[in-house]
């Protein structure tokens, strides 16, 4: 059996989730030969040093100077076909999942994303669903097992013995694949406090009512030196950028306190803030689901409650 693992790297250093994916691929058993593939715009970016794989193939193409998910997938599919790989593994990062989803679409096969355990002999996987609230056991019915590895499901191991052999190849890429790539990066306007690292996060949901409705939330955040977050209902409405979104498809946060204003507490939102040590919910509805997870709650209109909290903080500081 041959397994192929797709590795993401930054400046020639393989990223941690990819090392974890390679470690899982190397533990598949059955005498599996494990090949790794990286995409780079120059052969000089071949990963150096120990890796838990037998061989590394560097797909070299100028398109890989920026993120080009379909092009990477085409390179992975080409190599998997040449190697006769019966298992293709990737990291369960946003990009790893995207690339493997393209691989699955190109091969017309199912993808088991975010796996924490794999028994390759009978194609059984255990994978994370519902933003981490459910572990699903599934059997994958496919000639080639495609999966991504949930970050931190296994500890990365460097690999024993000699470093793997390294070869390069030039993949054949379609015009459509070359059209899909990152052409510009715009830095996030975070206002100084990073959402992922903030000790306090003040978040607004649909209950804020509008873009302008975030003014009291921003004011409270400034007083508390907090980051401003929001729910997906807010980013979908265009009131805040996606970089502010907390949740399963946003940022995962772990502040000392999370102040959720006008947020109902959908599973996908809670997946992003369950690391918070304390949750204060401000909600007009005493039946809102978030109250089941909240340590403190204020039932009321956030447009009255939030300015009142800010005023109380100011009064306490000046007195």
Ligand X SMILES: Cc1cc2nc3c(=O)[nH]c(=O)nc-3n(C[C@H](O)[C@H](O)[C@H](O)COP(=O)(O)OP(=O)(O)OC[C@H]3O[C@@H](n4cnc5c(N)ncnc54)[C@H](O)[C@@H]3O)c2cc1C
Note the residues at the interface with ligand X (CB under 6 A).
Answer: 205-207, 231-234, 245-250, 262-264, 266, 268-269, 272, 282-285, 288, 301-303
- Shortest distance in whole angstroms from residue 273 CB to ligand X: 9
Strands 9-10 and 13-14 turn out to be antiparallel
- Shortest distance in whole angstroms from residue 174 CB to ligand X: 29
Of 18 and 283, CB closest to ligand X: 283
- Shortest distance in whole angstroms from residue 205 CB to ligand X: 3
Closest by Cα among 155, 149, 98, 161 to 125: 149
- Shortest distance in whole angstroms from residue 297 CB to ligand X: 11
Of 52 and 272, CB closest to ligand X: 272
Backbone angles phi, psi at 259, to 5 degrees: -105, 105
Of 151 and 247, CB closest to ligand X: 247
- Shortest distance in whole angstroms from residue 145 CB to ligand X: 24
DSSP-derived secondary structure for 262-309 = S----HHHHHHHTT-SEEEEEES-TT-GGGGT-SEEEES-HHHHHHHH
For residue 48, what are its two tokens? 């150096």
**What is the gyration radius of the CA atoms in the chain, in angstroms?**
23
Tell me how crowded residue 37 is: count the other CB atoms within 10 A of its CB: 26
Of 179 and 188, CB closest to ligand X: 188
Strands 134-139 and 124-129 turn out to be antiparallel
Measured from each CB, the residue nearest to ligand X is: 247
Q: Are 292 and 265 in contact (CB under 8 A)?
A: yes
Of 61 and 232, CB closest to ligand X: 232
Of 136 and 285, CB closest to ligand X: 285
- Shortest distance in whole angstroms from residue 131 CB to ligand X: 8
Using CA atoms, how far apart are residues 135 and 116, in angstroms rounded to an integer?
Answer: 9
């Amino acid at each position: 059996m041959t397994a192929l693992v797709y590795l993401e790297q930054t400046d020639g250093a393989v990223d941690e989730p990819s090392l974890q994916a390679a470690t899982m691929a190397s533990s598949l058993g059955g005498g599996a030969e494990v090949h790794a593939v990286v995409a780079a715009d120059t052969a000089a970016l071949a990963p150096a040093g120990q890796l838990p794989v037998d061989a590394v193939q560097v797909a070299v193409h100028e398109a890989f100077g920026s993120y080009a998910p379909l092009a990477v997938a085409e390179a992975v599919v080409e190599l998997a076909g040449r190697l006769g790989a019966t298992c293709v593994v990737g990291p369960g990062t946003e990009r790893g999942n995207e690339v493997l989803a393209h691989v699955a679409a190109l091969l017309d096969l199912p993808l088991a994303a975010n796996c924490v355990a794999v028994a390759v002999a009978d194609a059984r996987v255990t994978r994370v669903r519902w933003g981490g609230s459910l572990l699903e056991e599934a059997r994958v019915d496919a000639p080639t097992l495609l999966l991504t590895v949930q970050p931190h499901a296994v500890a990365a191991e460097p690999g024993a013995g000699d470093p793997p052999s390294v070869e390069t190849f030039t993949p054949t890429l379609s015009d459509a694949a070359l059209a899909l790539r990152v052409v510009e990066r715009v830095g996030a306007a975070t206002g100084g406090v990073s959402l992922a690292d903030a000790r306090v996060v003040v978040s607004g949901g649909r209950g804020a009512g509008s873009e302008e409705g975030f003014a009291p939330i921003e004011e409270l955040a400034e007083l508390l030196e907090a980051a401003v977050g929001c729910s997906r209902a807010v980013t979908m409405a265009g009131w805040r950028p996606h970089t502010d979104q907390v949740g399963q498809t946003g940022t995962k946060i772990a502040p000392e306190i999370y102040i959720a204003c006008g947020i109902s507490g959908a599973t996908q939102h809670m997946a992003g803030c369950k690391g918070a040590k304390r949750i204060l919910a401000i909600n007009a509805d005493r039946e809102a689901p978030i109250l089941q997870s909240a340590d403190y709650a204020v039932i009321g209109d956030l447009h009255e409650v939030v300015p009142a909290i800010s005023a109380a903080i100011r009064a306490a500081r000046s007195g």
